[in-house]
Amino acid sequence: MSEWLTIFNDDGINIGIKERDQVHLDGDWHETFHCWFFETDHEQINLYFQKRSHNKKDFPNLYDITCAGHIDHDEKVIEAGLRELQEELGVILQGKDLIYDSDFKETIQLDSFIDREICHLFFMNLTQHRLNLLNVGDEVDSIAKVDIDLFEQLIKNEKTEIPMLELTKDGLFQKKVTKSSFCPHDNNYFYHIIQVCKKRS
């Protein structure tokens, strides 16, 4: 079934709806829901990622936003977000559980498409050690967390690899990851996410 998205001009004005694949081909601005989970464990802040399914068309097997998805043209932002959280992570939440931060405009350009997103950014501050309470769904191969300071050093190219704790269908595992293990977001986007998590911890 086709997904129809609301599209916007460069000034953020609604200019109609368009089918999702065509939106990416044409490089239209469209709305997405981004939700980042983080936790404070003593003095350490951990940032949570999902590993995109190997069956995904875009960026398979790469680590990305804890939960994210497109907002259909007839959906409200929070409705879309709660739906995505249940589909991807198996968690049923209410709008009051999420912390709204801001809207962030991001462009990811590859050979096959131009992804221009108006990202509605939300955060959730987890209680300690809730990694094993999240469920790995069909769209996600695993859930993982990294030390936010080490992740910041990684994206600044101050480190070449960092440790990660990963929850898969087979259990918990420690592993090493590099910058290329993550979806290619703009560094300014990651810097903003890091700053918000540190501020709200």
Which domains are present in the chain?
A: 4-200 (3.90.79.10)
Please name the helix (run of DSSP H) or strand (run of DSSP E) that holds residue 24, with its range, or none.
Answer: helix 20-26
Closest CA to 102 of 160, 161, 189: 189
The percent of residues in the chain predicted with pLDDT above 70, rounded, is 94
pTM of the entire predicted model: 0.94
- 8 Å CB contact between 121 and 100: yes
Cα separation, 159 vs 5, whole angstroms:
39
In the predicted model, is pLDDT for residue 118 greater than 70? Answer: yes
Give residue 127's pLDDT. Answer: 66
Residue 132 makes CB contacts below 8 A (sequence gap 6+) with: 167, 172
pLDDT digits (tens, 9 = 90+) for 6-60: 999 999 999 999 999 999 999 999 999 999 999 998 889 999 999 998 888 889 9
Q: If pLDDT is split at 50, 70 and 90, which confidence band does 75 have?
A: very high
Closest CA to 62 of 141, 124, 175: 141
In the predicted model, is pLDDT for residue 72 greater than 60? Answer: yes
- Mean pLDDT (the chain, rounded): 92
Judging by beta carbons within 10 Å of its beta carbon (0-12, 13-18, 19+), is residue 1 exposed, middle or buried?
Answer: exposed
Q: What's the Cα-to-Cα distance from 83 to each of 80, 89, 118, 133, 156, rounded to whole Å? A: 5, 10, 18, 18, 33
- What is 129-168 written as a DSSP string? T-GGGS---TTEEEEEEEEHHHHHHHHTTS-S-EEEEEEE
- 8 Å CB contact between 146 and 46: yes
In the predicted model, is pLDDT for residue 131 greater than 60? Answer: no
Cα separation, 105 vs 114, whole angstroms:
13
